Structure 1
Amino acid sequence: MDELTAAGITDPDLRASYEECKRLNALHGKTYYLATLLLPKAKRPFVHALYGFARYADEIVDDLASELSVEEKAQVLSKWGNGVLADLKKGTSQDHVGRALIDTVKRFDIPHEHFEAFLHSMTMDLTVQEYESYEDLLEYVYGSAAVIGLEMVPILGPLHNDAFEAAKKLGIAFQLANFIRDVDEDLDRGRVYLPLKELDQFGVTREMLEERVLTPEIVEALKFQIARVRQLQAEAAPGIKMLEASSRPCIEAASTLYCGIVDEVEKIGYDIFNHRAKTSTARRIRVAGAAFVKRQLISRQSNNHGSPQG
Structure 2
Amino acid sequence: MVVFFAKMARKGYRQKKSFLQVSMTSQHIHDYQSYSRLARDHYENFPVASWLISAKYRQSLHAIYAFARTADDYADEAMFDGRRMEELKKWRHLLDECIAGNAKDPLFLTLADTIEKHALPHALFYDLLDAFEQDVQQSEYANWSGIVDYARRSANPIGRLYLSIHGYRHEQLNVYSDAICSALQFTNFWQDVSVDLEKKRVYIPTNIMQGFGYSLERLYQRDENQAFTQVIQYLVAQTQTMFDEGKKLIPLLDGRLQKEIAMIVLGGEMILQKIKKQRYCVLSQRPMIKKRDKLYMLLRACLGYAS
- Asked if structure 2 preserves the Cα contact closer than 8 Å seen for 1:156 and 1:244, the reply is no
Moved more, 257-266 or 54-63: 257-266
2: CA distance, partners of 1:54 / 1:231: 27
The residue number in structure 1 matching 2:138 is 128
The residue number in structure 1 matching 2:39 is 25
The residue number in structure 2 matching 1:300 is none
1: CA distance, partners of 2:57 / 2:277: 35
TM-score by length of 1: 0.84
2: CA distance, partners of 1:93 / 1:260: 40
The residue number in structure 2 matching 1:162 is 172
2: CA distance, partners of 1:181 / 1:242: 29
The residue number in structure 2 matching 1:76 is 87
Structure 1 gap ranges (5+): 1-14, 296-310
The residue number in structure 2 matching 1:110 is 120
The residue number in structure 1 matching 2:107 is 97
The residue number in structure 2 matching 1:5 is none
Aligned residues between the structures: 277
2: CA distance, partners of 1:96 / 1:156: 24
Structure 2 gap ranges (5+): 1-28
1: CA distance, partners of 2:167 / 2:55: 14
- Asked if structure 1 preserves the Cα contact closer than 8 Å seen for 2:131 and 2:154, the reply is yes
Q: 1:57 to 1:64 in 2, by over 3 A?
A: farther
The residue number in structure 1 matching 2:98 is 87
User: How far 1:137 moved relative to its partner?
Assistant: 1.9
Amino acid at match of 1:18: Y
Q: 1:179 to 1:31 in 2, by over 3 A?
A: closer
Deviations 1:164-188 (Å, cap 9, x if unpaired)?
1111111100000000011111111
Deviations 1:72-103 (Å, cap 9, x if unpaired)?
2101111112212321232x523232222222
SS in 1 for 2:55: coil
Map 1:130-149; keep pairs closer than 5 Å.
130-149=140-159
- Asked if structure 1 preserves the Cα contact closer than 8 Å seen for 2:47 and 2:264, the reply is no
1: CA distance, partners of 2:173 / 2:56: 21
Instruction: Indicate yes or no: 2:63 matched with 1:53.
Output: no
State the 4+ residue runs in structure 1 displaced beyond 4 angstroms.
292-295
- Asked if structure 1 preserves the Cα contact closer than 8 Å seen for 2:250 and 2:258, the reply is yes
- Asked if structure 1 preserves the Cα contact closer than 8 Å seen for 2:176 and 2:248, the reply is yes
2: CA distance, partners of 1:253 / 1:216: 33
The residue number in structure 1 matching 2:199 is 189
2: CA distance, partners of 1:20 / 1:42: 16
- Asked if structure 1 preserves the Cα contact closer than 8 Å seen for 2:142 and 2:206, the reply is yes
Q: 1:93 to 1:293 in 2, by over 3 A?
A: farther
2: CA distance, partners of 1:81 / 1:47: 19
- Asked if structure 1 preserves the Cα contact closer than 8 Å seen for 2:224 and 2:283, the reply is yes
SS in 2 for 1:36: coil
Moved more, 283-292 or 46-55: 283-292
2: CA distance, partners of 1:85 / 1:194: 33
Q: 1:215 to 1:64 in 2, by over 3 A?
A: closer
Percent identity, aligned pairs only, is: 23
Q: Equivalent of 1:270, from 280, 283, 299?
A: 280
Larger Rg: 1
Q: 1:284 to 1:261 in 2, by over 3 A?
A: same
Amino acid at match of 2:200: G
Higher relative contact order (CA 8 A, sep 6+): 2
User: How far 1:116 moved relative to its partner?
Assistant: 0.9
TM-score by length of 2: 0.84
